[in-house]
Amino acid sequence: MKITFLTEMNFEGKIPSTHPNMRTEFAWMNALDANHSCIYNFKNIKNQDHVFIIIPKGEVFLNAVGVKLSDKINPISKLLELDIVPTLKSHNNKIHYIQEGPSWLFNDYEISDQLNFYNTLSECDSIFAHNKHDAKFYQGLFPSKRINVMPTLLIEDLIKNIIPQVEDKVIVGGNFARWYGGFQGYLVANEFNIPIWTQESHARRENERDIADLNHLPRLTWIEWMNTLSTFKYAVHLMPTVAAGTFSLNCAYFGIPCIGNEKVDTQNICHPDLSVDVDDVEKARILANRLNNDKEFHKECSINAKNNYHTYYGIDKYKESLINQLT
């Protein structure tokens, strides 16, 4: 099959399995031996069996996580005004939309952009959601359309030889923006009474570094992140935004018990005993205490996470799932 992915990233070509920054969409492209092109070059895409489009989150996402806009940001409205899907359909076989960010993100658009976004998705042959929870959302918007799930994926070539050197420390996924729910995660992480770390990202609040017992990782490439993550004993990720769930999957690969959002497929599948309603911070605290004080429970959660990863995820299972959905 000839497959092309269209995203906001400005490069052309394929993704090798040794790419040092194997983010989720790169993993998808690599697994499918797909080409990539910038979405603004959509008029040049022709003779493809399947074209996957990922509409960038744009300024709405940046506003949500507290990042000031610059003149370099292309307003989402400009993109949505273009006849992307009809143009692609005239030269290619099937056009698919892949969810980017939470399903509700477009609700923060201007009304005209909400309508244009809805119409763009309605023109696609199918929609690929991040998980089963969001698939129901899209099925409600488009009752007669085929709604699929794009499984989250790790390409293991560069990480399979990592030997974890585990230390007594806990990693909190995300920052203190509403989008990530980092503050609740920080409170739960305190139950372990060990050093607490968080990731560096563009969403970090200006005064987060004022919290004396919160350590910040530097900006890392994907491979640097995976090497660093392997050294943690526990993880907490109470992100209320339901998305692809890469954090929970990354933790599962190394057998790191992760307390996280039960609505995220990777969390619920890989860490079933540690999945919570993100508003139930009390239950998350209780689980953190049990992980910290019950060695057998910690061992069981660690083994189950790794086993569940290998049972339900990986490149072969991804390709099988996707090909079945496409055909």
Same fold, 3-150 and 170-312: yes
Assigned superfamily of 170-312 = Glycogen Phosphorylase B; (3.40.50.2000)
Span 105-148, pLDDT tens digits: 888 888 888 999 999 999 999 999 999 999 999 999 999 999 99
Side-chain-facing half-sphere of 137: CA atoms under 13 Å: 19
In the chain, where the domains are located: 3-150, 170-312
Q: In terms of Cα–Cα distance, which of 247, 229, 223, 244 is closest to 25?
A: 244
With 80 as the cut, is the pLDDT of residue 57 above it? no
Span 217-268, pLDDT tens digits: 988 999 999 999 999 999 999 999 888 999 999 999 999 999 999 999 999 9
Span 144-173, pLDDT tens digits: 999 999 999 999 999 999 999 999 999 999
Task: Give the model's pLDDT for residue 71.
Answer: 44
Question: Mean pLDDT, the chain, as a whole number?
Answer: 90
Q: Kindly give, in sequence order, each residue whose CB lies less than 8 Å from that of residue 71, ignoring residues fewer than 6 positions away.
A: none
Residue 158 has a CB neighbour count (10 Å cut-off) of: 16
Mean pLDDT in residue range 179-203: 87
Mean pLDDT in residue range 36-53: 95
pLDDT band at 61 (very low <50, low <70, confident <90, very high): very low
With 60 as the cut, is the pLDDT of residue 184 above it? yes
**What dihedral do alpha carbons 168, 171, 172, 174 form, nearest 10°?**
170
Structure tokens at 15: 């993704």
DSSP secondary structure letter of residue 106: G
Mean pLDDT in residue range 4-16: 93
Between strands 258-261 and 234-237, the pairing is parallel
Starting at the earlier edge strand, list the strands of the sheet with 3-7.
35-38, 3-7, 50-53, 94-98, 126-129, 146-149
Domain 3-150 has CATH 3.40.50: yes
pTM exceeding 0.95? no
pLDDT band at 203 (very low <50, low <70, confident <90, very high): low
Q: Kindly give, in sequence order, each residue whose CB lies less than 8 Å from that of residue 160, ignoring residues fewer than 6 positions away.
A: none
